[in-house]
């Protein structure tokens, strides 16, 4: 996959400080993250993290269609199809380790990061987005963790951030891969501010003219600016979709097993198109993914952020070797026949021993590639 990340530093009026901007530049693939893009982004974010002149970072995507539609799963597919198990392990370990290190850095950053989530924010894009201190949506934004459709699972820290949504919401989003609009993103606490697209340039201008020498709390300054823009965006927000069904969703997701949860979601009454799509995604998605997601949301909600990423690296490598992930990408993105040959046809048929094996680490604790991550 081609693509790059463009970096710029905008001078502030006090001449002592700068606003940093990272632009994901892979518009043909909806700004999906290649390995080289992740390397560049992590390196530059680390430099800015340690640079006292940088007071705020903004991460954006080129164009207006997407902030970031995910990771480079097409390249992973060709590796998983053509390479040996050792080669698959090496490539996927390098990619996912770097991605999760970058996500963790954003979560634990020492200065404000504004994620400009215009357009599509999915999968790997959610990893960058959810760790940011100021998560911005515009009226066109669509957020999702759609991994159930490709036989992976909600990763990039989703074990952490989906578990911190209102009860049942994270499980529902993981099982259905549902796209969340801007209004629902705010009410479900997936986003912080709804603003209009034209406010981005104005935000950068205001950040540049702020008197940072006299600021006690950089985060509060950024928040106040975005809240002022949000007031101007009143009346432009889309109608809520998920929020009116929240109580039914929460009830459905409190069932005692993944089989019962799936049945309960499919039994939610409503004629809305989004609900039909959610049920269809669940029915046609990977039963293995459904089991992984259920365990993430019911057995691993107590983990620290660092431990969530360590667990996810284990899961991602196991999924890459299993074959379900490869088959999902083939069906949805390569051949586009939308007829994945899942290992099991229904959640009730999944062998729990297969799921147990996916949650087994490839490494001893001290030799884990993410062993150096601290605790949140």
Domain-embedded: residue 267: yes
pLDDT above 60 (res 376)? no
Give the global pTM: 0.96
Distance of CA 189 to the CA centre of its chain: 14
pLDDT, residue 1, reads 54
Task: Find the CATH number of the domain harbouring 279.
Answer: 3.90.226.10
Cα angle 128, 129, 130; round to 5:
100
Domain-embedded: residue 372: no
Backbone angles phi, psi at 188, to 5 degrees: -90, 0
Q: pLDDT tens for residues 155-178?
A: 999 999 999 999 899 999 999 999
Domain-embedded: residue 229: yes
Question: pLDDT category, 214, cuts 50, 70, 90?
Answer: confident
Containing structural domain, residue 284:
4-367
Domain-embedded: residue 83: yes
Taken in order 190, 192, 197, 200, the sign of the CA dihedral is negative
Q: pLDDT tens for residues 117-151?
A: 999 999 999 999 999 999 999 999 999 999 999 99
Q: What Cα–Cα distance (Å) separates residue 20 from each residue in 47, 137, 146, 300? A: 11, 19, 30, 35
Alpha-carbon radius of gyration of the chain? 20
CB-CB contact of 27 with 34 (8 Å): no
Q: Which helix (H) or strand (E) holds 135?
A: strand 134-137
For 211, residues 6+ apart whose C-beta sits below 8 A from its C-beta are 13, 14
Q: pLDDT tens for residues 30-48?
A: 999 999 999 999 999 999 9
Domain-embedded: residue 376: no
Q: pLDDT tens for residues 315-332?
A: 999 999 999 999 999 999
Closest to 308 (Cα-Cα) out of 245, 218, 373, 250: 373
Tell me how many domains the chain contains: 1
pLDDT, residue 169, reads 97
Backbone angles phi, psi at 167, to 5 degrees: -50, 130
Domain-embedded: residue 312: yes
Higher pLDDT, 375 or 192: 192
For 78, residues 6+ apart whose C-beta sits below 8 A from its C-beta are none
pLDDT, residue 374, reads 81
């Amino acid at each position: 996959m081609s693509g790059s990340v463009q970096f710029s530093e905008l001078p502030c009026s006090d001449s002592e400080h700068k606003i940093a901007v990272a632009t994901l530049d892979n518009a043909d693939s909806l700004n999906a993250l290649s390995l080289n893009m992740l390397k560049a982004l992590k390196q530059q974010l680390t430099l800015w993290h340690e640079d006292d002149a940088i007071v705020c970072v903004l991460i954006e995507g080129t164009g207006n269609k997407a902030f970031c539609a995910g990771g480079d799963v097409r390249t992973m597919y060709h590796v998983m199809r053509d390479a040996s198990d050792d080669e698959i392990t090496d490539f996927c370990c390098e990619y996912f380790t770097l991605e999760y290190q970058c996500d963790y850095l954003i979560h634990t950053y020492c200065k404000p990061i504004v994620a400009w989530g215009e357009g599509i924010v999915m999968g790997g894009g959610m990893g960058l987005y959810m760790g940011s201190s100021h998560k911005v949506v515009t009226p066109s934004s669509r957020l999702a963790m759609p991994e159930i459709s490709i036989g992976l699972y909600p990763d990039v820290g989703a074990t952490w951030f989906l578990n911190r949504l209102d009860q049942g919401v994270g499980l529902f989003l993981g099982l259905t891969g549902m796209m969340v609009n801007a209004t629902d993103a705010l009410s479900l606490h997936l986003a912080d501010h709804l603003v209009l697209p034209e406010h981005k340039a104005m935000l950068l201008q205001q950040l540049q003219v702020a008197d940072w020498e006299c600021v006690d709390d950089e985060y509060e300054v950024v928040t106040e600016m975005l809240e002022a823009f949000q007031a101007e965006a009143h009346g432009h927000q889309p109608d809520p979709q998920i929020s009116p069904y929240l109580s039914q969703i929460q009830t459905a997701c409190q069932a005692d097993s993944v089989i019962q949860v799936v049945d309960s979601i499919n039994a939610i009454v409503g004629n809305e198109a989004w609900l039909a799509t959610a049920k269809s995604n669940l029915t046609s998605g990977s039963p293995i993914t459904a089991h992984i997601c259920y365990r993430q949301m019911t057995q691993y909600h107590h983990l620290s952020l660092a431990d969530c990423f360590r667990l996810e690296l284990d899961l991602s490598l196991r999924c890459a070797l299993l074959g379900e992930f490869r088959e999902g990408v083939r069906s949805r993105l390569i051949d586009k026949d939308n007829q994945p040959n899942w290992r099991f046809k229904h959640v009730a048929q999944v062998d729990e021993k297969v799921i147990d094996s996916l949650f087994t680490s490839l490494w001893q604790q001290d030799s884990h590639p993410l062993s150096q991550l601290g605790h949140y």
